[in-house]
Amino acid sequence: MKRTVRAALDEAAESIDATDARVLAMHAWGVSRAWLAANPREILTESQGARFDLLVAQRALGHPVAYLVGRREFWSREFAVGPDVLIPRPDTETVVESALARLSGEARVCDLGTGSGAIAVTLACERRGDHVVATDASPGALAVARANALAHGATVEFREGSWYAPVAGDAFDLIVSNPPYVAARDAHLAQGDLRFEPRGALTDESADGLASLREIIAGAPGHLLPGGWILVEHGYDQADACRSLLAAAGFRGLVSIADLAGIPRVAGGRRE
């Protein structure tokens, strides 16, 4: 049966969010938001209809929109994403903002657990003279991050391995990380987009979700130049724990920075 654009969108809105339906339609038909608004009576071809219906059915099963369209915007740039990487979150822009506020000169920067490369690629684009190293334990994630660096013309040195292993012997002006910090028993892991994201990007399987943050903060003094900063993203209820870990590791000038929702999201400190 022939369907118009409006009929297909209305039908989709019965099973998924109407905004998601428009994003999937734009992807399925290769059109802009403006085209959708201007052409509600356009008749869809069979293959256009089938492509859209498949995406709607997947979304109705919970598949994240970002995975279905293969990209997500971060710091006003498009990042390719897929099931090997965490979908970059707006909260993580707080890490980027905090990092940019502390960088000067030709800095050496390390992003631990780079995922899609959202933080590392953004910093490399915003500060072309810096030397940015990005690591991840997941080869699949590194492949996505490399593609994103290439797409944005960013110079980033990618290395594979667990936390500081790939940067043994190196020291930086800034270490940034958005590590897995969701506690293994957290009910959110079984809800929404998190069900489809790599478990190793979300949780460290320890009881409290702090295992990665502990390791990253404890190892930071050995990989920071004097006066260098560490900035880590953490969970909504982990600010105090991060502050204690930073103090125990000897960091000074401790900061706690809130995200756009006013929730403490980034903890940091400076090496003496």
Ligand X SMILES: C[S@@+](CC[C@H](N)C(=O)[O-])C[C@H]1O[C@@H](n2cnc3c(N)ncnc32)[C@H](O)[C@@H]1O
Given the rule CB under 6 A, which residues bind ligand X? 85-86, 88, 92, 113-116, 118-119, 135-138, 141, 162-163, 178-180, 200-201
Give the orientation angle of helix 211-219 with respect to helix 239-248, to 10 degrees.
Answer: 30
Between residues 16 and 145, which has the closer beta carbon with respect to ligand X?
145
Between residues 22 and 199, which has the closer beta carbon with respect to ligand X?
199
User: Tokens representing 180?
Assistant: 């897995």
CA dihedral 138, 143, 147, 149 (to 10 degrees): 40
d(CA 124, CA 136): 17
- CB 62 to ligand X: min, Å: 19
- CB 272 to ligand X: min, Å: 26
d(CA 221, CA 261): 31
d(CA 151, CA 48): 28
Please say whether the beta carbons of 99 and 123 come within 8 A: yes
Between residues 30 and 76, which has the closer beta carbon with respect to ligand X?
76
- CB 98 to ligand X: min, Å: 13
- CB 178 to ligand X: min, Å: 4
d(CA 121, CA 146): 9
Between residues 8 and 96, which has the closer beta carbon with respect to ligand X?
96
- CB 73 to ligand X: min, Å: 12
Instruction: Find the angle CA(235)-CA(256)-CA(247) to the nearest 5 degrees.
Output: 95
Between residues 48 and 116, which has the closer beta carbon with respect to ligand X?
116
